[in-house]
Amino acid sequence: MNYSRFITTVSAARKESPIRLLTELMQRSPPSLISLAGGAPNPNVFPFKKATVAIGHGNAVEIGEDLMKRALQYSASAGIPELLSWLKNFQRNLHNPPTANYSPEQGQMEVCVTTGSQEGLCKVFEMLINPGDNILLDAPTYAGTLAALRPLGCNIINVPSDQHGIIPNALKELLSSWSPEDIKSCSHSLPKFLYTIPNGCNPTGNSLTAERKKIYQLARKYDFLIIEDDPYYFLQFEKPWAPTFLSMDLDGRVIRTDSFSKILSSGLRIGFLTGPKPLIDRVILHIQVSTMHTSTFTQIMISQLLQQWGEKGFLEHIDRVVEFYKTQRDAMLVAADKWLKGLAEWYPPAAGMFLWIKIKGVSDTEQLIMEKALQKEVLLVPGRAFNINSSEPSSYVRASFSLSSPAQMDLAFRRLADLIKEA
């Protein structure tokens, strides 16, 4: 892979921060080293001394005085070593990526910790996108992604999708606009990447089937990257889980985002990027001069828990989380069937936290939701928020089943049904 053709001028110009390098060197050095180099504050003056965090399924996480000093201090930009090591082993065992044993130049699998997967996504976009670049995505999609992309001045090309994700023939037809000569000459007009949320897409709940993931071959043919944004991977309701693009990445062209937000904590802000080392290294250089690193305290807390649980314990926790959300989804489907039949259409989501509802006879749900629904004391997200052009009308609404009780879902859909009948 020629990664240089994907990287923006700004990203290519990034150099390692000498101060950050010194910090990381200091942390790897023996205690006998006397360092007068660092600008780190003395942790003895910090008021926090130790912490005990009770755990739902497992022993309490204990952060004693020595570990607390480290938790309150600066750390490596890529992530603390023990968490990185755990995550790399986990990704190898879970996805078995072909790139795990490649050389760095070939696109060896690399991992870095990010402050939520959103930070990773934004930094990946800024690494790859020049104004005027063509990129592919299947909309409706996550509003946060669209908000990050729009200011970068790229041309967003919508790939048609249905409840099973991207439609391969539609993607193939779109790509046929580029000639064999364009591919051979690495034309600047070729799409830089395809962005997709393959499991439980926010907002549609769509999940890309294993069969359709053969679109990886189109990425090889037209030489574009795949950004596999997968925060709902661990919220798949049926096993076996779908194979990931990372698991089939022969070339080192997949950048994958994972998140602990839906399964451990959204407020702790921990995510991680997995992808080819030459690209992940560029993201780390950006982290060095922006956030510097994800909270050391947060990383230590998560790392201590994962070390205690091991992969088996972590996956057992995932099973409990999935069971909860599956029950929630089923309750919402019961309420939808009871109140919205004949008024709306929907598909049962196979993953995630959302039901995507098409309101019959309503061309745009914006006014219906933002004005009238509030009066009825029910709130959903109007569909146009997830369109590439947010001013385009949408007959859809997004309903989340993560927080409401079955009784609340029932009442909410009763109110929504009254609203639709009055519209």
CA–CA distance from 104 to each of 110, 121, 252, 279, 335 (Å)? 9, 22, 10, 10, 52
The pair of structure tokens assigned to 397 is 């609404």
Q: Using a pLDDT cut of 90, give the percent of the chain over it.
A: 89
For 290-327, b/e burial (b = at least 16 CB within 10 A) is eeebbbbbbbbbbbbbbeebeeeebeebbeeebeebbe
Q: Which two tokens stand for residue 352?
A: 């995630």
**For residues 328 and 338, is the Cβ–Cβ distance under 8 A?**
no
Q: Where are the alpha helices (DSSP H) in 230-295?
A: 277-288
Crossing angle (nearest 10°) for helices 81-95 and 296-339: 40
pTM of the model: 0.95
Q: Look up tokens 């859809």; give the residue.
A: 396
Map residue 45 onto helix, strand or coil: helix
Nearest Cα to 292, choosing from 123, 72, 76, 69?
A: 76
Nearest to 158 by CA among 180, 137, 186, 185: 137
Q: What pLDDT is stored for residue 25 in this prediction?
A: 79
Average per-residue pLDDT for the chain: 95
Q: Give the DSSP H or E segment for 271.
A: strand 271-276
> What does the pLDDT read at residue 35?
81
Question: What strands, in cross-sheet order, belong to the sheet with 396-400?
Answer: 344-345, 354-359, 396-400, 381-382
Q: How many CA atoms lie within 13 A of 116 on its CB side?
A: 11
Given the structure tokens 């003056």, which residue do they identify? 45
pLDDT tier, 111 (very low <50, low <70, confident <90, very high otherwise): very high
Residues 225, 231, 236: CA angle, nearest 5 degrees: 110
Q: What is the pLDDT confidence band of residue 177, given thresholds at 50, 70 and 90?
A: very high
pLDDT in tens, 361-399: 999 999 999 989 988 999 999 999 999 999 999 999 999
